[in-house]
Structure formats: C-alpha cells, structure tokens
Amino acid sequence: MCEEEDPAAGVSASIPQLRNPFLAIFCVNLGHCCMPGYEVERAKLRQYLGIEWTPNGLAKMDDQKPKVVRRSEDLNCDFSQPDQCKWQNVKEGLDSLDFYLFRKDDNTEFPAIQVRPGPSKVKAGEQMLFAGDRKKEEQSAMLTSWPIRCQNTTGKLTFTFWIYNGARVEVLILEEEPKSKNHKLKILPENRI
C-alpha cells in the first residue's frame, strides 16, 4: 500500500499497489467561480485573492500526447512551465468544466476561513490551477496524469489545494485491464476536509 497525503490538510488515503498502468485523476466538484468570459468573477478573484487568469495558459499542456511516465518525479509540476507538466484536463466529457492557469499577482492573503486547507500566504508569481462556474448546479473538473507504469514499491502523491463554497477534492485511479482496452475506475477512500 502507498500513502497519498496532503501535509497542509492532513489528508491521507491508502493507494493499493497496482500491477497495470493507471492514471491518477483529480476530480473537483464545484459550486461557482470563473471561466473565460467571466470578467466580473475574475475581477473579484483579483480583488479578494490577488490571482489573475493566464489566457490559454494550459493549451500546450492539454495538447500533449500522453506517454507512460517512468519515474514518479515525472509527475512533479508547479505549473511555472505548463508545457512540461505531465497532466491535462480531461477531454472525454467526463466532467463539466476545465481547470485554468492563474498567477498570484500580489501579496493578498487568502481568507483562511473561506478558502482552505492550503496555506493562506502564497508568493506573488506562483502559478495555480483554478476551476469553477457561476451556475447553481454542481459542476466538476477533472485533471489526469499521464499513465503510470506498474509499480512494485510504494508511491506517494502529494499536492497543495484550496477549496471554497463546499467544493471537494477526490483522487481516483483508472486501471487498465490486462490485454484489453477496458478500464476499471478505483475510487480511493474519501477523507472529508
């Protein structure tokens, strides 16, 4: 078994060892937020969080053809160079929204009560992904890693995230069936934040 942890949130989940290639999938269910064309919402994000949308910031990342990663470090990404990240927005219509690249523009602290569990102080210039919509019904955005080869030892997946308005983060595993194009979705034990 491996452990998936978020040190900032104290979240941990067991990840079973897999014998087949798999993808790590992040699924975020959202209330409302912003997308291209949402100037009012983006202005509020600038005012309250000090973050600015980077137009087409993930285009090169999303256009890459995924290949199997050889080392867990290959999945490390701080989004300062998205074209080198081994992650991408889901294209198959499994979600209703995409993630977008944002840059921290000033020293405005995130309101710790409303935006949690990540750190409230983020340095100007840091990049982050953001997803959301102003619709009232529940929305979801999924980010997938490139395929991960069979691993015979433990592995660790860590990430920093912030949520608000009742959003939640789920980590899913999509496992390929041997000698088949079928996939089996494994949902890790949910840890409430």
Q: What would the pLDDT profile of 130-185 be if each residue is shown by its tens digit?
A: 888 777 788 888 888 888 877 777 777 778 888 777 778 877 776 666 666 655 55
Which residue would you say has higher pLDDT here, 46 or 154? 46
Q: Is residue 20 part of a domain?
A: yes
pLDDT of residue 177: 64
Asked if residue 30 is part of any domain, the answer here is yes
Q: Give the range of the structural domain holding residue 47, as residue numbers without chain letter.
A: 2-187
Number of domains in the chain: 1
- Count Cα neighbours of 154 within 13 Å in the Cβ-side half-sphere: 8
CB 131 within 8 A of CB 98: yes
What digits encode the pLDDT tens for the residues 79-134?
999 999 999 998 877 788 889 999 999 988 888 767 778 788 889 999 988 888 77
pLDDT digits (tens, 9 = 90+) for 68-88: 888 878 888 989 999 999 999
Secondary structure E strands in 105-167: 116-117, 127-130, 139-145, 156-158, 162-163
pTM of full prediction above 0.95: no
Please report the pLDDT score of residue 9 as a whole number.
Answer: 37
Q: Is residue 119, in this structure, part of any structural domain at all? A: yes
Greater pLDDT, 53 or 186:
53
Q: For residue 50, is it within any domain?
A: yes
DSSP letter (8 states) at residue 20 = S
Q: What distance in Å separates the CA atoms of residue 116 and residue 137, rounded to the nearest whole number?
A: 22
Residue 192 placed within a domain: no
Residue 52 lies in a domain: yes
